[in-house]
Amino acid sequence: MENGILHVDMNNFYASVETLFAPQYKDVHMAVAGDKESRHGIILAKNMLAKKMGVQTAEPIWQAMRKCPGLQLVKPHRERYAEYSRMAQEIYCRFTDLVEPFSLDECWLDVYGSERRLGDGEEIAHRIRRTVKEELGLTVSIGVSYNKVFAKLGSDYRKPDATTVVSRENWQRLVWPLPVGALLYVGGAARKILAQFGVKTIGELAACKRDALETLMGKMGSQLYRYANGLDDSPVRGAADREPIKSVGNSTTFRRDLTRWDEVQSGISLLSDSVAMRLRRYGLYCGGVQVGIKNSRFQVFSRQTTLDHSTHLMREINDTALRLAKDLWKAPDPIRLLSVTALHLTEEAQSYRQLDLLGTDDTQQEKQEAVESAMDALRKKFGRGVISYGTAEDTISGEKIERD
């Protein structure tokens, strides 16, 4: 088999799942959205009819309603999305044991070992699409290729309910004309850097000298060169190959030492946002937070605490990390490095606090979930740098991110 790597993307996932429970929305302009009455009213997902009217994920509800006056809004039900994601992955596992989730609605599959029993990659893709549609009532788009990067490009190439093969024979024709932002891990910051040198398509990126890209962007430049030239060889990691994640943390070494509390706040917020985003991508919650500080004398101090409930929300991680940092930092001792780490990870949300009889905590959590889910959707579509929590730009510019 030549093309045995598949990327499966569930079409309009949130909106499609909601339609299963409320069929009256099937043939009308519909979107899943946050609280319409609050200032956090944001579009989380939309169906194809709303998409054709110009409705976009993560835009304010008022703006979407202006584009599409008859837009029907549906409250999100995240437990449903998690359940349908699980059922879809169970279907994929019938075709191969090498299934690697990338997000709630995306997975890579390695079907090289299934050819004798099920056919080539394209035929298996067709079978998966039919099975998901028949058993779950949902549609998926599937990219079929010889590596993970091109398989993902293939699933984005035609939607909805389509199979696209990106082979060694046609990949230059299909891939190189695409905008460089379509390539995996090319976010807003990378696009800006590349645009300064006239690189706007994947083909133009592929034509760059590898050494020049590495000088310009570090290891990421070398990685993007490989991706653009079809040289990705990363394996699809099945459940047996994936070690359980024990912690998720990020650290930042600053270009200049921090000496003011507002600078520390900015650094903690940046790191908390990154950690929370990664937790949501992995489908995990944390029950504890740790903060680390390295001062200008290279002394390292850390402090951690447990939470009264597990979370993957930036605001809750950030609030806890700030309390730890405030107790830990002996102002104005210069700070060279900050780190925030999520501990005690679980796959399900757990609560250890007393029930709030009025439900106010749950309401606030739902609103924050809506905000941060919308931010995830924006970043998935436009890159990591498209939106962030308020930070002091002059504090964090020029930083080096070191991922654990």
Residue 40 pLDDT more than 90? no
Is 348 designated active site? no
CA distance 17 to 20: 5
Coil vs helix vs strand at 9: strand
Percentage with pLDDT > 70 across the chain: 83
Coil vs helix vs strand at 300: strand
Report the pLDDT averaged over residues 99-120: 93
**133 near 141, Cβ under 8 Å?**
no
| pLDDT tens string 207-217 | 999 999 988 88
**94 near 128, Cβ under 8 Å?**
no
Mean pLDDT of the chain: 85
DSSP 276-294: HHHHHHHT-EEEEEEEEEE
Can you give the pLDDT at residue 228? 97
Can you give the pLDDT at residue 156? 95
106, 122, 263, 316: the catalytic one is: 106
Residue type, 111: V
Beta bridge partners of 179: 201
Phi and psi at residue 237, in whole multiples of 5°?
-100, 115
Q: CA separation (Å) from 32 to 14, 268, 388? A: 7, 31, 22
| pLDDT tens string 326-380 | 999 988 899 999 999 999 998 876 654 443 433 445 556 666 666 666 666 665 5
**180 near 199, Cβ under 8 Å?**
yes
Q: CA separation (Å) from 141 to 48, 238, 317? A: 14, 21, 35
| pLDDT tens string 261-289 | 999 998 999 899 889 988 888 888 999 99
| pLDDT tens string 229-271 | 999 999 998 876 766 778 899 888 887 889 999 999 989 998 9
What per-residue string of b and e applies to 309-321 under the rule 16 or more CB within 10 Å gives b? ebbbbbbbbbebb
Residue 63 pLDDT more than 60? yes
Q: Considering the entire predicted model, what is its pTM?
A: 0.66
186 or 353, which is more confident: 186
pLDDT band for 103, please (50, 70, 90 cuts): confident
Can you give the pLDDT at residue 323? 95
Report the pLDDT averaged over residues 114-139: 96
Output 67-74 pairs: Cβ under 8 A, ≥24 positions apart.
68/29, 70/28, 70/29, 71/29, 71/30, 71/31, 72/25, 72/28, 72/29, 72/30, 72/31, 73/30, 73/31, 73/32, 73/33, 73/36, 74/15, 74/18, 74/22, 74/25, 74/30, 74/31, 74/32, 74/33
